[in-house]
Amino acid sequence: MKNSNDFITTTILDSISRLLATNITTTSRIDKEATAFTVAETPFEIYSDYVLGFAFLITTFVAAKRMAWSQKQGGAETTVVTAFYSLILMTSFLRTIWFLIPSSMVEPSYTPSAVVAFSTTYPRWVASFVAEVLLSIGSLCLFSIFILILVYWADILKKYFYPGHRRSKPMFLFVVLVILLTSLEIINMILFFLSTYSVEGMILFNSILLATVSIICVIQISIFSHRFRTVLKTLGAINQVSTESQVKRIVWITVTGNLFFFIRAFLETTFGCLLISYWYHHGSVDMAFSHGFYDTYILIKHWSEVAILCLMLYILQSRFTSSATSSDGATPSQSNREGYQPVGNASDGGGVRVTGTLVV
């Protein structure tokens, strides 16, 4: 009887030992998988980052070359055109740095992670902060391109719809708007350093800000574009001059700009809502996005940026190429660089003339 009890006891203890060993092994495997999920940068992510980095690098070289060419030209438009090329250059350069520096050097995870200021568990929190700042400044430069277009469109439309009203300088308004957006980004950084939230909070802040600005840009581009085309067609009919090339450029900017900002607004809104939802339920977004979902977000977001930057370079180049070849070989400054024929000035009481710096 004693031997039987000893056998039963031994069997039970062996079973418990096997069960505990199995649980420990399973827990260890789950921990490793979770670590791999949050830390690992997949080969596809490394490859796609380098491809995007080189795409932005090429755009950087082209913008730098065009900017150097623009500075050599005469005329009143040189400042504005140089500003366009400068914004394209800065956007491309900052994106190049962000993509060509391996993510593993600055982030604990390729997907968003909870890195706080002055962290003792992750000493490289400064690198994570700098990476997010580079991303934010690059987005600010990119959006500034269209803000610059909109302020000049608004100024010219105000001139013709309200000729007697006093107008502020468009470049001054542009600087004010950029300072406003920059101030919001500085507030975002301050809240990070005050430990109000982590890098996740900075990402969420930027998503909300960019989604809002994108929606505003879609509305304003649509309104100004419609009015601008109406003005151009009216001037063309009255003065019997062709404005077809200007209308086409405006249509290109309108369609591509609205498409870009609509995609951006949709992406940032979806991204922000998912962040808020996961953060509300779990207090962190470490595991909110799979690699596949986050990779899709990054690819759509940044390849659309490459496309819009290349398109802006093409529009600027084609505009001045056509201006330079007009008027029987006259120089760009001699051939009415606004792309219109001189047919009098509205303020002179004569025929209507499209004057001022037109950025299409």
Residue 75: per-residue pLDDT: 62
- CATH number of the CATH domain containing 120: 1.20.1070
**pLDDT at 16 exceeding the cut of 80:** no
Residue 22 lies in a domain: no
Q: Is residue 248 in a domain?
A: yes
In a domain, 153, yes or no: yes
pTM: 0.76
Is residue 16 assigned to a domain? Answer: no
Residue 198 lies in a domain: yes
- 138 inside domain: yes
Q: Region 69-80: what's the mean pLDDT?
A: 73
Give 286's pLDDT tier (boundaries 50, 70, 90): low
Answer whether 201's CB lies under 8 Å from 129's CB: no
Other Cβ atoms within 10 Å of 10 Cβ, number? 10
pLDDT reported for residue 63: 94
What is the reported pLDDT for 267?
92
> Residues 118-176: pLDDT tens digits?
888 888 899 889 999 999 999 999 999 999 989 988 888 888 777 777 777 888 899 99
Nearest-10 crossing angle of helices 291-325, 125-161: 40
More confident residue, 23 or 216: 216
pLDDT score at 74: 64
Range of the domain at 288: 44-348
- Asked if residue 20 is part of any domain, the answer here is no
Give the chain's domain count: 1
The answer to whether 340 touches 243, Cβ cutoff 8 Å, is yes
pLDDT for 328 equals 45
- Statement: residue 100 has pLDDT above 60: yes
pLDDT of residue 291: 77
Q: Cβ-count burial of 124 within 10 angstroms (0-12 exposed, 13-18 middle, 19+ buried)?
A: middle
